[in-house]
């Protein structure tokens, strides 16, 4: 089946709401809500197509846009590649130039059932921040560890993975409770890197699956908000998407101090794997907030890091 290349925009307003439009009843996926956009014309660059579609459909001109996610989806009657951009500044006031109803919804309120099936990963991408902090092993000084977590939250980190492989379950649960209480003060979420049953039992916001844990599962484990997984190749990404994992971490993109000698992917390979994956993918391995533009250009949700976020100067949302 020929793949139709489509550009779509997530216009984000000052309150973090996203603009959605209702598709006419009589077209493909009619009656559902969508992100404004349309087909890329022959010879057109994606950004040109985006500007043309936003003018035709909404009467606005994008001023600040960056890639959000690329989604491939095969409907029974057509295959699409949705190239979705996050637009945070534009000229003009958005109005439905083709008579289509418009609405501004918080990403948390976007119900995937009201959108075409391809849009699930787009909604997830909109709900996720651009950085994912993975904690280093906590040392004996728990107070210093919690202070550093709090400083990271103050810098803007909103998604954390508590990774403390050396702790027994009771000590891990104890530390998790403290980290989660801090995180919730900042409306941030904590994923516990542990057995899904333990994460669920102690009320974690989510669970982060190791590659081995991911491979052992044939369905999404129960979780309050998030199920994430560590992946290294196309098979693992496909398995993660198939069982309903929300997002993946893929790497190492560059060499890291924590995993010396691990084979490095590089940005080109990362982009190929992330672009084919049906879920948002954070880039991991030797990265920091300064790498966000490169990460977005190569199809990442953003950057996941231990060192690069634990004491980095900032974490852009």
Ligand X SMILES: Nc1nc2c([nH]c(=O)n2[C@@H]2O[C@H](COP(=O)(O)OP(=O)(O)OP(=O)(O)O)[C@@H](O)[C@H]2O)c(=O)[nH]1
Question: Shortest Cβ distance from residue 71 to ligand X (Å)?
Answer: 8
Size of the site for ligand X (CB under 6 A): 17
Please check if 221 is assigned to a binding site. no
Residue from 11, 12, 37, 282 in contact with ligand X (CB under 6 A): 37
Question: Shortest Cβ distance from residue 121 to ligand X (Å)?
Answer: 11
Residue from 22, 29, 202, 272 in contact with ligand X (CB under 6 A): 29
Based on the shown chain and the rule CB under 6 A, indicate whether residue 27 belongs to the binding site for ligand X.
yes
For residues 60 and 54, is the Cβ–Cβ distance under 8 A? yes
Please check if 23 is assigned to a binding site. yes
Residue from 1, 13, 16, 28 in contact with ligand X (CB under 6 A): 28
If we measure between CA atoms, which residue out of 91, 110, 92 comes closest to residue 35? 110
Q: Among residues 127 and 307, whose Cβ is nearest to ligand X?
A: 127
Based on the shown chain and the rule CB under 6 A, indicate whether residue 83 belongs to the binding site for ligand X.
no
Based on the shown chain and the rule CB under 6 A, indicate whether residue 119 belongs to the binding site for ligand X.
yes
Question: Shortest Cβ distance from residue 125 to ligand X (Å)?
Answer: 12
Question: Shortest Cβ distance from residue 288 to ligand X (Å)?
Answer: 32
Please check if 195 is assigned to a binding site. no
Q: Among residues 4 and 217, whose Cβ is nearest to ligand X?
A: 4
Please check if 25 is assigned to a binding site. no
Based on the shown chain and the rule CB under 6 A, indicate whether residue 112 belongs to the binding site for ligand X.
no
For residues 75 and 117, is the Cβ–Cβ distance under 8 A? yes
For residues 237 and 209, is the Cβ–Cβ distance under 8 A? no
Based on the shown chain and the rule CB under 6 A, indicate whether residue 8 belongs to the binding site for ligand X.
yes
Q: Among residues 19 and 82, whose Cβ is nearest to ligand X?
A: 82
Question: Shortest Cβ distance from residue 8 to ligand X (Å)?
Answer: 4
What single string gives the DSSP state of each residue in 245-289? Answer: --EEEE--SS--SSSTTPPP-HHHHHHHHHHH-SS-EEEESS--G
Q: Report how far apart, in Å, the C-alpha atoms of 206 and of each of 163, 179, 194, 196, 227 are.
A: 12, 13, 10, 9, 6
Q: Report how far apart, in Å, the C-alpha atoms of 220 and of each of 163, 213, 282 are.
A: 20, 11, 19
Question: Shortest Cβ distance from residue 81 to ligand X (Å)?
Answer: 9
How many residues appear in the chain?
Answer: 317
For residues 159 and 206, is the Cβ–Cβ distance under 8 A? no
Question: Shortest Cβ distance from residue 39 to ligand X (Å)?
Answer: 4
Locate 208 and state its tokens: 């982060």
Based on the shown chain and the rule CB under 6 A, indicate whether residue 118 belongs to the binding site for ligand X.
yes
If we measure between CA atoms, which residue out of 74, 88, 81, 68 comes closest to residue 4? 81
Binding-site sequence positions for 8-oxo-dGTP: 23, 28, 34-37
Binding-site sequence positions for Mg(2+): 37, 57
Q: What are the residues binding ligand X (CB under 6 A)? A: 4, 6, 8, 27-29, 34-35, 37-39, 78, 80, 82, 116, 118-119
Binding-site sequence positions: 23, 28, 34-37, 57
């Amino acid at each position: 089946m020929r793949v139709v290349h489509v550009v779509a925009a997530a216009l984000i307003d000052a309150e973090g709401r996203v603009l959605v439009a209702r598709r006419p009843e009589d077209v493909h996926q009619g009656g559902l809500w969508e992100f404004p956009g349309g087909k890329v014309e022959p010879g057109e660059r994606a950004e040109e197509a985006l500007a043309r579609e936003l003018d035709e459909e909404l009467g606005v001109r994008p001023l600040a846009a960056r890639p959000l996610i690329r989604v491939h989806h095969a409907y029974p009657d057509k295959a699409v590649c949705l190239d979705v951009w996050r637009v945070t500044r534009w000229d003009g006031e958005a109005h439905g130039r083709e008579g289509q109803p418009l609405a501004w919804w918080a990403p948390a309120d976007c119900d995937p059932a009201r959108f075409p099936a391809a849009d699930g990963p787009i909604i997830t991408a909109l709900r996720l921040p651009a950085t994912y902090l993975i904690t280093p092993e906590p040392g004996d000084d728990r107070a210093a560890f919690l202070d550093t977590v709090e400083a990271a939250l103050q810098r803007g980190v909103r998604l954390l993975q508590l990774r403390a492989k050396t702790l027994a379950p009771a000590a891990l649960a104890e530390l998790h409770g403290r980290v989660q209480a801090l995180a919730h003060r900042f409306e941030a979420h904590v994923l516990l890197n542990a057995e899904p049953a333990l994460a669920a039992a102690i009320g974690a916001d989510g669970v982060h699956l190791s590659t081995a844990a991911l491979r052992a599962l044939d369905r999404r484990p129960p979780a309050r908000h998030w199920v994430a997984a560590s992946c290294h190749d196309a098979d693992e990404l496909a398995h993660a998407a198939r069982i309903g994992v929300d997002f993946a971490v893929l790497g190492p993109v560059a060499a890291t101090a924590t995993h010396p000698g691990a084979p490095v992917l590089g940005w080109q390979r990362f982009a190929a794997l992330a672009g084919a994956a049906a879920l948002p993918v954070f880039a991991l391995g030797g990265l920091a907030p300064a790498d966000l533009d490169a990460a977005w250009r190569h199809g990442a949700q953003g950057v996941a890091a231990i060192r690069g976020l634990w004491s980095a100067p900032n974490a852009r949302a």
